[in-house]
A and B are shown apart, each in its own frame.
Chain A
Amino acid sequence: QKEVEQDPGPLSVPEGAIVSLNCTYSNSAFQYFMWYRQYSRKGPELLMYTYSSGNKEDGRFTAQVDKSSKYISLFIRDSQPSDSATYLCAMSARGAQKLVFGQGTRLTINP
């Protein structure tokens, strides 16, 4: 079993919809949680960075962390075609330099 599980999709939704992406993990030592967006043939771009449990909002993006359930989510409101990309969750333990990534979810927003 992988340390971080993420449904690879693909996920296709109409423009303007609310998108929900999520990851589960098994390592209770993980305390730092990130979401990256990756366009085709580009490197991952940091979207959200959170520490421990709770919610964080940045524009149309909201990240949620539930450490008791070992479950993290990314919500995208008012989705746009430009949001079409692969979304990667990543996490690490305190003091550890290695990020562990999920497989990535391929998202398409249809105009």
Chain B
Amino acid sequence: DTGVSQNPRHKITKRGQNVTFRCDPISEHNRLYWYRQTLGQGPEFLTYFQNEAQLEKSRLLSDRFSAERPKGSFSTLEIQRTEQGDSAMYLCASSSLSGPDNSPLHFGNGTRLTVT
């Protein structure tokens, strides 16, 4: 168990550019989540996958944001036409379906996005 892995750790981009982040969950976990965290705040839910199916999306996830999880393994989060307000830490988490309904989430160390 190597934990949840996120790449890159830090991304600096200019306003208007597109960025893509990758998350590799814990291998036996079939649920995968994306959260966003701004400075001094707790993480906010963005979206959730069970295997390859995206089952829930927050209204925070505007049409500039898209997430995928092909083959139910790794996931990518893409932000198109980035804005300065997109600057945040993007956290990925995973959990197991085989446990209780609400198995605890295990987080990666995040990708810190800075939009200049």
Contacts and interface: CB of A to CB of B under 8 A. Distances in A.
Given A88-B42, A90-B42, A97-B33, A44 B107 contact: yes
Contacts, number: 65
Interface in A56-111: 88, 90, 92, 94-104
Contacts of B101: 94-95
B56 A97 contact: yes
Given A41-B112, A97-B55, A98-B56, A46 B42 contact: no
Contact of A46 (B55, B104, B109): B104
A64 B109 CA distance: 27
Nearest to B110: A43
Nearest to B102: A32
Q: Report the interface size class on chain A.
A: 20 to 34
Contact of A96 (B6, B40, B44, B102): B102
Interface in B37-89: 40-45, 48, 55-56, 58
Size category of the B interface is 20 to 34
Contact of A99 (B4, B55, B105): B105
Given A43-B4, A97-B48, A6 B42 contact: yes
Given A43-B4, A96-B102, A104 B107 contact: no
A49 B58 CA distance: 24
Contact of B41 (A94, A98, A104): A104
